[in-house]
Each structure stands twice: as structure tokens, then as C-alpha cells.
Amino acid sequence: MAQLTYRASVSLAIAQSMRKDQKVFFIGEDVGAAGGVFKATVGLLEEFGKERVMDAPISEQAILGAAMGAAMTGLRPIAEIMFSDFLAVCWDIVANQIAKTRYMSDGQINIPLVIRTANGGGSKFGAQHSQSLENWSMMIPGLKVVAPSCPSDVLGLMDSAVKDPDPVIFYEHKSLYAFKEEIEQTDISIPIGEANMLHEGKDITIIGLALMAQRAKEAALILKDKHDINAKVIDLRSLVPLDLQTIKKSVIETGHVLTVEENPRLCGWGAEISSLISEHCFKNLKGPVTRVTTPHVPLPSADILEDNTIPSVELIVNEVIKKLKGE
């Protein structure tokens, strides 16, 4: 049993995949000799050498293009995009090429690659280095979208992502890199598409992802201790594929739903989930599905501004109380 940070679990997860399968290689900017700007890939170059851990130029299109082409031949690249915001400069390769080539080729081509990227706010980096962009990739048919909330999920989901025959975007949350967990077994696999129940309760279902799942869990502990409210907290772990069955089961039990999203409001993933719930569980609902999101603004930088933009534990607690007690 060892304590592992989210950061260390990333490099361990990559190393475990690379040890198991010679077809796996890793490519990105500053990932090898420097160990990554978040130090999440330290030690990989030393263990696997330059042929399998490639330091690339600042060429996001060329990085993802090379990963895609290699994947088309059956290799299993893991490509890093340093900040998820930079996906905007290679979005053609992601959304037009990687996502669509299997379909357009009538299944002649598989693209088994993983794009891992540092996502989300909390670091006061401002509007171009802090975005939470899972919903961008969720809108594109052909991409799987994973966002782990804890070290064990990083390990288990990375194992599945690398083995997956389809392209997976793996959003690591910057504010979780220091998050610690006691881990018994590191070489684990968690199927993509299975949500995780972080907290049990009968009064309301709170649905979150990545950092927001952890905040929802903290909120649930406060709600239970101080307000006698028992919340179920679902960590979706992935948006595509989505574990709709777990959501449905939970909504049938509680009748109240709150989604907690870090993305700006418009077309956030919670909107899609809200729509699915009204389609599938309308009769089980005791009130409207509501959403807590970042407001529809670019993320500001100053401490007080960013802290009041991204949904906080306190905000989640208050929203739940408002919903259930009408306060």
C-alpha cells in the first residue's frame, strides 16, 4: 500500500502501458528530458529511451497527425497536448481527421490513440490556460472522452484508454495533480463508460466530472453533517461513452438532480444529461433538473475572480439546499 499523487499516477499509468505493450509510445512537448511542464511524465525517458518517448517541436498539428498516422498502422500512441486550450490549434486533426476517418473509410481504419491533456482551472492562469473543454470533444462523433477524478481512476482508465481501439481524449485536471490517494494495487483496469458512485444518499443525485466530482463529494459530506441531506454523488468518469444506466437508476431513487460542470454554461455536458433525464425519467422527477456551471464568461485570472467563477463546494451546498428546501 502506497500513497500516490494524481501526478505520479499519470507517469506510472503510462509506464505500465508501455511495459505491457511494445506498440505503445509517447510523444509531446517537453515530456521527455524535462518530464513534462506538470512533472507528470518524469522518469519515462529514462526507462524507455528516445525511441519511445519523443520530445516534439511546438507543432500541435504535427504531433497529433503523427500520432494518428502511427495509430492507423496499429501502433498505440499516447500524445500529450500540454494544455487542453491548445487543442484549438490542432482541432482539425482532432475533430475532422482522428474522429471521422474510421467512419469515412467504412471501418477500414482504426485509430487507437490516446490524447492526454491538462485541463481545467484553479491555477489562476487566465482564460487561455484554464479552460474545461470536455464538452468540445463530446460534441464530435467518433471521440471517446475520459476525465479521471483521482489517482486510481487515472491508473485504471489510462490502462483501458490505451487498449481501446478508438481514439480517447484523456482530460487530466490540473488542480488534481497534487491529489493523494492510498493505493493497494497500481496495475488496474477500469472499463471506460462505467460511472463511479462517490457518495451514497437517497435525497438527491449530484452528477460531476473530474474536479467537480470531488467538489460534489465534499459538498455531500457537508450536506450530510450539517443539513441532514443525503446526496448521491455520481462521478461520470467519461462523457462518451456515457453511463446512462447508472444515472437513470439513481434518478429513479432520488427524484432530484443537480449537475456540476466546470465548463461555461452554454452547451455544457450537463445540458445533454438533463435532456436525457427528462426523456428517460420524466415521471420519476420531483422537480426540474438544475445545473451549476461556470458562468458564460472567459475565465478571469485574479484569485478572487477565478475562485468565484468556477463552482465551489459552498456553491454546490447552497444550490442543493435551495433545491430541496426552497431556501
By CB under 8 A, is residue 108 in contact with another protein?
yes
The 3-class secondary structure across 141-179, one letter per residue, is: CCCEEECCCCHHHHHHHHHHHHHCCCCEEEEEEHHHCCC
Residues of span 17-56 touching another protein by CB under 8 A: 25, 51, 54, 56
80/306 with CB nearer another protein: 80
Strand order in the sheet with 257-264: 196-199, 231-235, 204-208, 257-264, 290-294
By CB under 8 A, is residue 240 in contact with another protein?
yes
Whole-angstrom distance, CA of residue 292 vs CA of residue 233: 14
The angle formed by the CA atoms of residues 291, 292 and 293, to the nearest 5 degrees, is 110
Closest approach of another protein to the CB of residue 33, in Å = 15
Segment contacting another protein by CB under 8 A, of 35-43, 162-170, 197-205, 263-271: 162-170
A 10 A CB-CB count for 146 gives 31
Among 62, 127, 267, 285, binds another protein (CB under 8 A): 62
Segment contacting another protein by CB under 8 A, of 104-112, 126-134, 209-217, 281-289: 104-112
Segment contacting another protein by CB under 8 A, of 11-19, 61-69, 123-131, 146-154: 61-69
Segment contacting another protein by CB under 8 A, of 4-12, 73-81, 180-188, 308-316: 73-81
Number of residues in contact with another protein, rule: CB under 8 A?
48
x/- map, 185-214, another protein, by CB under 8 A: --------x---------------------
By CB under 8 A, is residue 69 in contact with another protein?
yes
Among 166, 172, 235, 306, binds another protein (CB under 8 A): 166
Among 8, 12, 71, 233, binds another protein (CB under 8 A): 71
By CB under 8 A, is residue 276 in contact with another protein?
yes
- Answer yes or no: are the C-beta atoms of 34 and 62 closer than 8 Å: no
Whole-angstrom distance, CA of residue 68 vs CA of residue 157: 20
**CB-based contacts of 231, cutoff 8 Å, min separation 6:** 199, 201, 203, 204, 205, 206, 216, 219, 220, 223, 224, 320
**CB-based contacts of 228, cutoff 8 Å, min separation 6:** none
By CB under 8 A, is residue 96 in contact with another protein?
yes
By CB under 8 A, is residue 222 in contact with another protein?
no
- The length of the chain is 327
**Where do the DSSP E strands lie in 254-309?**
257-264, 290-294
> What DSSP state is assigned to residue 122?
S
Closest approach of another protein to the CB of residue 203, in Å = 25
| Whether residue 173 lies in the annotated active site | no
187: left (phi over 0), alpha (psi -120 to 50) or beta: beta
Whole-angstrom distance, CA of residue 127 vs CA of residue 266: 16
Element (H, E) at 263: strand 257-264
Catalytic entry in 129, 173, 199, 256: 129
Closest approach of another protein to the CB of residue 78, in Å = 14
Residues of span 76-95 touching another protein by CB under 8 A: 92-93
110/123 with CB nearer another protein: 110
Q: Which residues bind another protein (CB under 8 A)?
A: 25, 51, 54, 56-57, 59, 61-62, 64-75, 92-93, 96-97, 101-110, 112, 141-142, 164-166, 193, 240-245, 276
Query: What is the set of active-site residues?
Result: 129
